[in-house]
Chain A
Amino acid sequence: MMAHRCAFQTIASPALTQREVEFTKSAWIAGLRPDQRGAQQLREVNVDFPLLSRDVSCVRCGGTIVTAAIACELVEPFPYRPKHGIIDFSVRQPYTERDSSAKTAELKKLTAFLERLIKGGGVVDTEGLCVLPGRRVWSISVDVTVLNDEGNVTDVAVWATVAVLLHYRRPELTIRGDSVILHPTHERDPVPLSIHHTPLSFSFAITMAPGDRNRLARGRRDSQEALEVVVDPTFAEATAASSSVVVAVNAEGQVCSVSKSEGSCIHLDEVNHCMETASLLAPHILSLIRDAMAAHDKRRQEALKRMFLWAQKRSGVTSEATEPEPAKKLKTET
């Protein structure tokens, strides 16, 4: 199913794309979505930390899979901001020969959006990343890799980035005068990053332009309403939509970013509807991220315990000798 879906997307001819667009639009007019979701329903979201280390997160939303990896390093700061750390984002996607040159522009736009949302929005306390003013600051780089694209890459990339920023731990430092001692993880526990708030973005597809909607409402008589705003658009829905809105909200219900990109015009009530829907969906995604972090911590504890037991069993000869003794005693007693 997945391979067929990908193959269909990559070799889609204009005629097939047009048929898909027409099918999607007729489904919207009938009040349905092509994959039978509700208007405010996300696809199945799964947040995972695949490695035992804390620096890789993988988020999948339906068929869209995005991985975010984080790394930090002590560097010299910029001269004009000597007390602030550095945060860098890069987004990449494995190319196929069918991808057009617009794909590069889309990835650049996604990188700029991540920078505006997380760096410009003050998510990470960059002043807390300062070690020695003017000489040593932490530099954090987040690499976002889009593994599969079935629509709504923006949201999944933001969720993966937020998850990896929340879960990451940087090494502990000891500063004595001008010397900086970097402690490995077995000497001291690493410390988490200072996160002020967690913005989560949600993409909305506006199905029809307001003029088209009024014309359609005038022509129809039945009370069944057409869908106006749908959340988490798939690739086909993004192609068929007249415009799109991206809203980022945090856990406190504040709106961190509103972006309306190209397409037909929209009205203020549609923007309000998008903000309300995003406020309803954000706690769900945040709870998924928190649950994934807790599950990963538990998995790390179990892995460390298993490793310790294995080392104990391997090195301790006495432990093997002591184990059979109670069994022998039990046998002699019976």
Chain B
Amino acid sequence: MSEKKEYINPAGLRLDGRRPQESRRMTLEFGKVLGCDGCCTVMSGLATVCASVYGPREVTNRLESKYNECIITCEVAIAAFAGEKRRAPQRRSKLSEEMSAAVLEVARSVVLLSQYPNSQIHICVEVLRQDGSDKAACINAACLALVDACVAMRDIVYAQTVGLIHAVDVVDLTTEEMRSQCPTICIAVKGHDPSSIVWMESNCRVTSEVVSRLVTVAQKSSEGVFAAALRGPLEEHAAAILKLQGNLGNGD
């Protein structure tokens, strides 16, 4: 960790003016991509991720189909202009494969696979702009796209990254804070029951008490963010879908 940089000033504010337990402003947009069954664009601060869901549909590779459950495939593409430096426009890189594996694990945990035997759900995630916590943003976008596609799920999933900078618990890290190489945990919890951990990953060397404290901080922050930023747009979107179905019903 770089000791020269002051990530939290004496007034208790971070580099972008947030308090340590405060998440960035998150906005959702549904239905912006045509030709797919579900899509969602998540903007969390400066990070922008667009996810599309195709399916449940027939399995493209017959050898991989399962008779009793659905298979989920995921493809994460990071745009060449997403980061600070322009990167080579290759579809597969180590980072995108790691993100794809994480999104796949969360989706397989949350989707009721037995409801769609012999089927395939394909998730395409496009990272349009990176600003730290990219894996968490991809997980959020993919799960919200699955909601938009009306796939049977156990619960909404909210993922975020928590870190420990100068012995202060920090929530929803940005690129500058990620660059400090501080201990971080990326965790996904259920929206309605934050004590249930859907997926978590940590690659830092800390004591177990610090891990417990960071998980507790993440769960509290998830509860607040879900109530403030996710519940309202989801309810509005559901009401719009029901109204549309009502109109179609009236037409018949």
- Please tell me if A281 contacts chain B, counting CB pairs below 8 Å: no
C-beta contact mask, B192-213 vs A, less than 8 Å → 1, else 0?
0101111111111111100110
B98, B101, B202, B207: the one contacting A258 at CB < 8 Å is B202
| Cβ of A106 to closest chain B Cβ, rounded Å | 11
| Cβ of A316 to closest chain B Cβ, rounded Å | 56
> Which residues of chain B from 177 to 202 have any CB-CB distance to chain A below 8 Å in the complex?
185, 190, 193, 195-202
Known: A121-B203, A271-B215. A112 touches B208 (CB 8 A): no
Q: Are A268 and B216 in contact (CB under 8 A)?
A: yes
Q: Are B203 and A268 in contact (CB under 8 A)?
A: no
Which chain A residues lie closer than 8 Å to B201 at the CB level? 257-260
- B-side interface size class: 20 to 34
- Which residues on A are within 8 Å of B, measured CB to CB? 100-101, 108-109, 112, 116-117, 120-122, 197, 210, 243, 250, 253-268, 271-272, 275-276, 279
- Please tell me if B14 contacts chain A, counting CB pairs below 8 Å: no
- Which residues on B are within 8 Å of A, measured CB to CB? 63-64, 94, 97-98, 101, 104-106, 108-109, 185, 190, 193, 195-208, 211-212, 215-216, 219
Q: Are A276 and B205 in contact (CB under 8 A)?
A: no
Which chain B residues lie closer than 8 Å to A112 at the CB level? 94, 97-98, 101
Which chain B residues lie closer than 8 Å to A210 at the CB level? 196
Q: Lowest 9 CB-CB distances: which A-B pairs, in order?
A: A265-B196, A275-B208, A262-B105, A262-B108, A260-B200, A262-B109, A258-B202, A254-B205, A120-B203
B198, B200, B215: the one contacting A259 at CB < 8 Å is B200
Which chain A residues lie closer than 8 Å to B63 at the CB level? 101
A267–B200 alpha-carbon span in the complex (Å): 11
What are 24 contact pairs spanning A and B, CB under 8 A? A121-B204, A253-B208, A254-B205, A254-B206, A255-B206, A256-B203, A257-B201, A258-B200, A258-B211, A259-B201, A259-B202, A260-B199, A260-B200, A261-B199, A262-B105, A265-B197, A266-B196, A267-B195, A271-B197, A271-B200, A271-B211, A272-B208, A272-B212, A275-B211
- Using CB atoms, name the residue of chain A closest to B216: A268
Q: Are A255 and B207 in contact (CB under 8 A)?
A: yes
- Using CB atoms, name the residue of chain A closest to B67: A14
A116–B201 alpha-carbon span in the complex (Å): 10
Beyond A243-B109, A250-B205, A259-B200, 8 additional contacts (C-beta under 8 Å) are A108-B97, A121-B205, A253-B208, A256-B203, A258-B211, A262-B108, A268-B195, A271-B197
| Cβ of B157 to closest chain A Cβ, rounded Å | 10
| Cβ of A192 to closest chain B Cβ, rounded Å | 21
Q: Are B208 and A268 in contact (CB under 8 A)?
A: no
- Using CB atoms, name the residue of chain A closest to B211: A255
Q: Are B205 and A268 in contact (CB under 8 A)?
A: no
| Cβ of A239 to closest chain B Cβ, rounded Å | 14
Which chain A residues lie closer than 8 Å to B185 at the CB level? 258
Q: Are B98 and A268 in contact (CB under 8 A)?
A: no
Q: Are A268 and B199 in contact (CB under 8 A)?
A: no
Q: Are A268 and B197 in contact (CB under 8 A)?
A: yes
Q: Are A276 and B216 in contact (CB under 8 A)?
A: no
Which chain B residues lie closer than 8 Å to A121 at the CB level? 203-205
Known: A101-B63, A210-B196, A262-B105. A256 touches B205 (CB 8 A): yes
Which chain A residues lie closer than 8 Å to B64 at the CB level? 100-101
| Cβ of A187 to closest chain B Cβ, rounded Å | 38
| Cβ of A117 to closest chain B Cβ, rounded Å | 7
- Using CB atoms, name the residue of chain A closest to B215: A268
A250, A257, A262, A263: the one contacting B203 at CB < 8 Å is A257
B94, B198, B212: the one contacting A265 at CB < 8 Å is B198
Which chain B residues lie closer than 8 Å to A109 at the CB level? 101
Which chain B residues lie closer than 8 Å to A197 at the CB level? 205
